[in-house]
Structure 1
Amino acid sequence: MTGNMISLAERIVFSDKFRPLYAEGMAMVEEAARYLDGAGRIESRNLSRVAASLYATESMRLTTRLMQIASWLLLQRAMRNGEMSRQQVTAEKAKVRLDTPSAGQAAPGWSELPQAFVDLVERSLRLEERIRHMDCEVRNPQRQLATDRHGNPVSQQIVLLRTAFGVA
């Protein structure tokens, strides 16, 4: 079965379902740039020193996170369009980091941050998590299969049924 296994994530990357993910990621990059250069710049002037420092740090993290997401999306699009080979994309993806942290709600000053900024940070973290999961599955579908077999109750039941009926 593993030799014939099809990675759902890889199918998504090569299907029309990739377009909305790509559009979402690129739109978020543009939205963040507009916000940080416009309303965010104005709103940040009214923050306390602690909140202003946190805002500056989180702004850099947000920008970094979104640039990494955009890089991943552009690489997938290039492979999908035949502009780069799988090997080229794999080599370039090694430079992409999908683990940009956030200080989060526990950080002093977080509650003072503008809500529009907090929403952008939280949405970017959710998008990064979705892409990280998809990237992991594309890179190593066998690991995902092992995770599903041991961590997913439905997969566990399928394994038990196969065992009971002697199907490999």
Structure 2
Amino acid sequence: MKSFGVVNELPKAALLSFGDRFTTSPQFAKLYREGMDLVERTAEYLDGQGRAESKTLTPPASFAYSSESIRLTTRLTQLASWLLVRRAIAAGEITAAEAHNHRHRVTLSPQSTTLPEGFDALPKTFRFLIAESQRLHDRIMRLERIFSDGAVAANEMASPIGPQIERIRLAFPAA
């Protein structure tokens, strides 16, 4: 008669996080190019056409332009920093642990969706750049949550009692 007991030895497999795989993938390379392209296009706009367009605005649109250009620049700086840190990890220039040190850490925070008074009067190109930066921010925030969840799972598996917890989970599956 065959016994269905607890498995004595679980296969040992190297854990590769989604973050490790993603940062070396063509998808990350595409995201990196998109992000850096957006930074460049925004800088060109703000230094050229945007500067000229902002001079024609009247209150409250001129105030909205000023505040939104600061928010846009800050958002893009954070996103570029995040992308550069991830690229450095993928290239082996720094480790993931080093990236979490305060010196390399990039903190992304949720963005406000409240639009200031006068937003609708802002130049169309400027509003498009804002929307594009918000979409990129949302994508990177989702990735960061996945990376963070993967790091928590990897830390749990690295626990000295991790294999025992896994055996219990396998022996008593949830109903």
**Is the contact between residue 61 and residue 117 of structure 2 (CA under 8 Å) also seen in structure 1?**
yes
Q: 2:148 aligns with which of 122, 139, 144?
A: 139
State percent identity of aligned pairs: 38
Deviation at 1:98, TM superposition (A): 1.8
1:119 paired with 2:119, answer: no
Bigger mean CA offset, 56-65 vs 91-100:
91-100
**Is the contact between residue 65 and residue 100 of structure 1 (CA under 8 Å) also seen in structure 2?**
no
Q: CA RMSD in A?
A: 2.8
Q: 2:30 aligns with which of 20, 30, 35?
A: 20
Q: Distance in 2 between matches of 1:9 and 1:84?
A: 14
**Is the contact between residue 64 and residue 100 of structure 1 (CA under 8 Å) also seen in structure 2?**
no
Q: Distance in 1 between matches of 2:73 and 2:105?
A: 16
Deviation at 1:10, TM superposition (A): 4.1
Deviation at 1:97, TM superposition (A): 2.8
Segments of 4+ moved more than 2 angstroms: 3-11, 92-95, 99-105, 141-144
Q: 2:47 aligns with which of 37, 56, 63?
A: 37
Deviation at 1:99, TM superposition (A): 2.4
**TM-score, with length taken from structure 2:** 0.72
**TM-score, with length taken from structure 1:** 0.75
Q: Distance in 1 between matches of 2:120 and 2:80?
A: 28
Structure 1 equivalent of residue 167 of structure 2: none
Q: Distance in 2 between matches of 1:63 and 1:15?
A: 27
Partner SS for 2:100: helix
Question: What do the CA deviations read for 1:119-145 (whole angstroms, capped 9, x no partner)?
Answer: 10011011011001101111223879x
Partner SS for 2:43: helix
Deviation at 1:51, TM superposition (A): 0.8
Q: How many residue pairs end up in the alignment?
A: 146
Deviation at 1:55, TM superposition (A): 0.5
Partner SS for 1:118: helix
Q: Distance in 2 between matches of 1:78 and 1:58?
A: 30
Report 1 or 2 for greater relative contact order, CA contacts < 8 Å, sequence distance ≥ 6.
2
Q: Distance in 2 between matches of 1:94 and 1:140?
A: 19
- Stretches of structure 1 that go unaligned for 5 or more consecutive residues are 145-165
Show the 5 A alignment for 1:43-62: 43-62=53-72
Deviation at 1:102, TM superposition (A): 4.7
Deviation at 1:40, TM superposition (A): 0.4
